[in-house]
Chains A and B, each alone.
Chain A
Amino acid sequence: MESIGFLIDGFALAIQPVNVIYAAIGVIIGTAVGVLPGIGPALTVALLLPVTFKLDPGGSIIMFAGIYYGGMYGGSTTAILLNTPGESASVVTALEGNRMARSGRGGPALATAAIGSFVAALIATGGLAFLAPVLVKVAVKFGPWDYFGLMLIAFVTVSATFGSSPLRGLTSLAFGLWLGLMGLDQLSGQARLTFGVPELLDGVEVTTLAVGLFAIGEALLVASRHLYKPEKPIPVKGSIWMTREDWGRSWRPWLRGTLLGFPIGALPAGGAEIPTFLSYNIERKLSRKPEEFGSGAIEGVAGPEAANNASAAGTLVPLLTLGLPTSATAAVMLAGFQQYNIQPGPLLFTQHADLVWGLVASLFIANVMLLVLNLPLVGLWVRLLAIPLPWLYAGILVFASMGTIAANPSVVELLLLTGFGAVGFLMRRYDYPVAPAVVGLILGPLADSALRRSLQMSLGDPLILVHHPSSAIMIAIAAIALIAPFIFKGLSRFRQDED
């Protein structure tokens, strides 16, 4: 195969000592900045982009690959240990990961995240190298109706994150949907729920909601309990490494997460969040110990974290082949390419083959480096929990608010962050799950515009949603997933009656 030859050339470029050093520096600073609470990969990459400008294009892109994967990886560390995901794709990781960390199993949680990310990124980078041209042809065929079908599936699976009460879960979801309405409607330019505040016209940033609900809400909750039942996080209980059982329970979720994450990440409007929800739901269904979900199931970390990283590699498919950035991180990377007058697109693979394959090769190298760097660091990260609580949470608040200020230095944004923090606290206090709100904010606007684009293209005929076989199948899957549990419940009750 031609690609293999190119890939070998790429490795020859990436393996040069100076380039390996660039990759190592990229991985280290990417992890270091990404690990700060409230600062996700997009901001990490945006912050560190100027650092790479001083290098030649090859070196810069290689360092960039390191920063990208490093930032992705660093984001999950704080999600697991401190329940403060810096971006929406780590929200699901925080669900089970933080439960594990609280019961002293932070080490295995971090390890399964690290190894899962490694496995996923390895496979997905391979997919990027060999499947990109094929995938992209399928991806552009994905019409608005297909996106609508995908959103329906995602909506149905959200129920996995609802916790003890469906009513409270739905209420949380509705809150997210409501926030999703805010701002200018993309299709018609109509302002919704902006109350004349111009800062609201761009809508609510998902990061602001995630950081507010999780980081600030969490800090408020811990503070409110401090006096009555002081909660001392347990840094380590038992081994900080994964046991044989942990391995046995992790490897399948890693692979399944990868299979979900890569193709959805490659869709022009797929994103990293949807595969993490889907993966969480699937792992919960397939787990041999579903009762552990909600109190720290390792599958719930392994699957979504693999999905998250695989989708990060998937994002590079439309970016490199179409010049189409599908996530905030990818948009910053595009700016990075353009800095060198390199326009990603159909001609990139022919005009700048050396660069592309150098990038792919350095993604492999960065990935290996991350594993080498981070597995030994697991012990160190876990020690973060040994910082006295007042300083730990004060630090979290400083970094979380800084992330918001850095993205948009406006008082309105800070007020929103504080407001979401207060809501997050109340939701936790009265046992409302917070993750569905984030999900609602992400999916709501996507579903809304996908449906309306479909109807606009069909001049108002709703049958367009079932005319296309692909969307018809997805809508059917969503319907079955919604109804099946009730039928099964009914059947088992029926059988019980017979007994």
Chain B
Amino acid sequence: MRKFFGRGLAAVAVAGLLAASTGPVAAKDLELTITAPAGAGGGWDSAARSLQEVMMATGEAKSVQVVNVPGAGGTVGLAQFIGSAKGNPDQLFVAGITLVGASISNKSPVDLTQITPIARLTGDPLVIVVPKDSPIQTIDDLLKTIKEDVAKTIWVGGSAGGADHILAALVTKAAGADPSKINYVAYSGGGESLAAMLGGQATAGVSGYGEWEGQIKSGDLRALAISYPEPIEGIEAQPLKAQGLDIELVNWRGVFAAPELNGEDLEALKTAVANTLKSPQWQEVLKTRGWTDYYAPSDEFKTFIGSETERVRGILTSIGLAN
């Protein structure tokens, strides 16, 4: 009855625009809560909401709610999740490489190895660009410029210690310069650093490919390379690996379950998520959002988290953001 009243109110208030969207009859009884450790609108939030949408549409879960717990690169949300969800089979958590870095550079007592990996979802390439008027034509030109004067090579990108910064450090290191001398100017996100690139205030810039795609296609920025291990259809810029640099860095996102979750409950979650990710609806989401599929099942993802944490720690230490 009460539910009906709520729905009725909804319908009246916006003249039926919000006609209640009840999914198909639920095949499973999972009632899940997904924590996105970031504010509404960002990458983790949209990943969580897409997962919510597809899980309900495919009937893999009866109901899914998304909770945003923003703060400190996701470490606030992670700490809260670890504290409150222990052993709880109804809780999921969405996170990515930025949280790995944030745990380390914020000296947070919690990190992703403390929760249960379920699946890796997507992995977006980062792109290295230069302004269109720049004399730098290829990645080798950029390496030469760095080698000549690492201080005068001004990089712009997202926040300090994030994936953009890490990639810039890796490239600096590959050029044979000292990564701790990198002149990386951090901006709050892809938007502000884009303005700095277009204004010609920087030598090179790093961002998620999708964020700068428009300017790359319109010719305002010249893409030198992407950080994905293999070439991607529809992206002209070639991987760093294909251009002779042994660097790969993917801005991955994954989904996790509560700590200390075992047995049947864990298997049920794994199956539900795996089925969701195999559905045509999920492929559709990847396409419309412009995300690159980077699926890995639970076990593989677990090893990946371990190696990724060590690798990020190594790079952050070399640029002086961790010790």
- B54-71 interface with A by 8 A CB criterion: 67, 69-71
Known: A343-B214, A347-B218, A456-B185. A189 touches B17 (CB 8 A): no
- A328-376 interface with B by 8 A CB criterion: 331-332, 334-335, 338, 341, 343-348
CB distance from B169 to the nearest CB of A (A): 13
CB distance from A146 to the nearest CB of B (A): 9
Known: A140-B199, A142-B199. A335 touches B214 (CB 8 A): no
Contacts of A467 in B (CB 8 A): none
Bound CA–CA A140/B198 (angstroms)? 6
Check: A186 CB closer than 8 A to any chain B CB: yes
Max chain B CB contacts within 10 Å: which of A143, A144, A346, A407?
A: A346
CB distance from B94 to the nearest CB of A (A): 16
- Does A140 contact B195, Cβ atoms closer than 8 Å? yes
- Checking A186, A188, A323 against B191 with a beta-carbon cut-off of 8 angstroms, the contacting residue is A323
- Checking B40, B75, B154 against A457 with a beta-carbon cut-off of 8 angstroms, the contacting residue is B154
- Closest partner residue, chain B, to A143 (CB atom): B201
Contacts of A141 in B (CB 8 A): 199-200
CB distance from A184 to the nearest CB of B (A): 7
- B154-191 interface with A by 8 A CB criterion: 154, 159-161, 183, 185-188, 191
- Checking B19, B108, B185, B196 against A54 with a beta-carbon cut-off of 8 angstroms, the contacting residue is B19
Bound CA–CA A198/B79 (angstroms)? 9
CB distance from A270 to the nearest CB of B (A): 11
CB distance from A404 to the nearest CB of B (A): 13
- Does B185 contact A324, Cβ atoms closer than 8 Å? no
Bound CA–CA A459/B181 (angstroms)? 11
Known: A189-B160, A322-B194, A322-B195. A201 touches B214 (CB 8 A): no
- Does A457 contact B198, Cβ atoms closer than 8 Å? no
Check: A269 CB closer than 8 A to any chain B CB: yes
Bound CA–CA A338/B70 (angstroms)? 21
- Does B192 contact A268, Cβ atoms closer than 8 Å? yes
- B307-323 interface with A by 8 A CB criterion: 321
Q: B-facing mask of A200-243, CB < 8 A → 1, else 0? A: 01100000000000000000000000000000000000000000
Known: A324-B194, A335-B46, A410-B71. A189 touches B79 (CB 8 A): no
Check: A8 CB closer than 8 A to any chain B CB: no
Bound CA–CA A335/B289 (angstroms)? 11
Contacts of B186 in A (CB 8 A): 186-189
Bound CA–CA A476/B201 (angstroms)? 23
- Checking A191, A198, A343 against B71 with a beta-carbon cut-off of 8 angstroms, the contacting residue is A198
- Checking A46, A202, A323, A456 against B70 with a beta-carbon cut-off of 8 angstroms, the contacting residue is A202
User: What interface size band does chain A fall in?
Assistant: 35 or more
Q: A-facing mask of B132-156, CB < 8 A → 1, else 0? A: 0000000000000000000110100
CB distance from B122 to the nearest CB of A (A): 15
Q: A-facing mask of B66-102, CB < 8 A → 1, else 0? A: 0101111101100100000000000000000000000
Q: A-facing mask of B21-59, CB < 8 A → 1, else 0? A: 000000000000000000111000010000000000000
Check: A326 CB closer than 8 A to any chain B CB: yes
Check: B271 CB closer than 8 A to any chain A CB: no
- Closest partner residue, chain A, to B108 (CB atom): A198
- Does B159 contact A142, Cβ atoms closer than 8 Å? no
- A130-188 interface with B by 8 A CB criterion: 139-144, 184-188
Contacts of B70 in A (CB 8 A): 202, 408
- Does B76 contact A199, Cβ atoms closer than 8 Å? yes
Check: A398 CB closer than 8 A to any chain B CB: no
Known: A189-B161, A459-B152. A332 touches B41 (CB 8 A): yes
Check: A66 CB closer than 8 A to any chain B CB: no
- Closest partner residue, chain B, to A136 (CB atom): B198
Bound CA–CA A325/B194 (angstroms)? 11
Check: A253 CB closer than 8 A to any chain B CB: no
- Closest partner residue, chain B, to A457 (CB atom): B154
Bound CA–CA A268/B288 (angstroms)? 27
Bound CA–CA A51/B75 (angstroms)? 31
Contacts of B215 in A (CB 8 A): 322, 345-346
Check: A466 CB closer than 8 A to any chain B CB: no
CB distance from A262 to the nearest CB of B (A): 18
Number of interface residues of B (CB under 8 A): 54
- Closest partner residue, chain A, to B107 (CB atom): A191
Bound CA–CA A139/B192 (angstroms)? 11
Known: A199-B76, A268-B195. A189 touches B201 (CB 8 A): no
- Does A318 contact B195, Cβ atoms closer than 8 Å? yes
- Does A346 contact B214, Cβ atoms closer than 8 Å? yes
CB distance from B218 to the nearest CB of A (A): 4
Check: B1 CB closer than 8 A to any chain A CB: no
Contacts of A325 in B (CB 8 A): 191
Bound CA–CA A196/B69 (angstroms)? 18
Contacts of B220 in A (CB 8 A): 346
- Does A188 contact B218, Cβ atoms closer than 8 Å? no
- Does B41 contact A51, Cβ atoms closer than 8 Å? no
Contacts of B202 in A (CB 8 A): 457
Bound CA–CA A63/B71 (angstroms)? 31
Contacts of A477 in B (CB 8 A): none
- Closest partner residue, chain B, to A347 (CB atom): B214
Check: A55 CB closer than 8 A to any chain B CB: yes
Check: B105 CB closer than 8 A to any chain A CB: yes
Contacts of A268 in B (CB 8 A): 191-192, 195
Check: A25 CB closer than 8 A to any chain B CB: yes
Check: A129 CB closer than 8 A to any chain B CB: no
Known: A143-B199, A198-B106, A199-B76. A269 touches B17 (CB 8 A): no
- Does B105 contact A189, Cβ atoms closer than 8 Å? yes
- Closest partner residue, chain A, to B19 (CB atom): A54
- Closest partner residue, chain B, to A333 (CB atom): B41
Check: A482 CB closer than 8 A to any chain B CB: no
Check: A428 CB closer than 8 A to any chain B CB: no
Check: A29 CB closer than 8 A to any chain B CB: yes
- Checking B79, B152, B192, B210 against A324 with a beta-carbon cut-off of 8 angstroms, the contacting residue is B192
Q: A-facing mask of B203-228, CB < 8 A → 1, else 0? A: 00000001101110110100000000
- Does A341 contact B289, Cβ atoms closer than 8 Å? yes
- Checking B18, B41, B151, B214 against A345 with a beta-carbon cut-off of 8 angstroms, the contacting residue is B214
CB distance from B45 to the nearest CB of A (A): 9
Bound CA–CA A348/B217 (angstroms)? 12
Contacts of A186 in B (CB 8 A): 159-160, 186-188
Bound CA–CA A326/B218 (angstroms)? 22
Pairs of residues from A and B, 3 with the lowest C-beta to C-beta distance, nearest first: A345-B214, A201-B72, A189-B160
The chain A residues found within 8 Å of chain B, CB to CB, are: 25, 29, 46, 51, 54-55, 139-144, 184-189, 191, 198-199, 201-202, 268-269, 318, 322-326, 331-332, 334-335, 338, 341, 343-348, 407-410, 453, 456-457, 459
23 intermolecular pairs with C-beta atoms under 8 Å apart: A25-B15, A29-B14, A51-B18, A54-B18, A140-B195, A140-B198, A143-B199, A186-B187, A198-B106, A198-B108, A199-B72, A201-B75, A202-B72, A268-B192, A269-B195, A325-B191, A335-B40, A345-B214, A348-B214, A410-B69, A453-B185, A456-B183, A456-B185
Q: Give 10 new A-B contacts, CB below 8 A, not counting A201-B72, A456-B183, A459-B183.
A: A29-B14, A54-B18, A184-B159, A189-B160, A198-B108, A201-B75, A268-B192, A347-B218, A408-B39, A457-B154
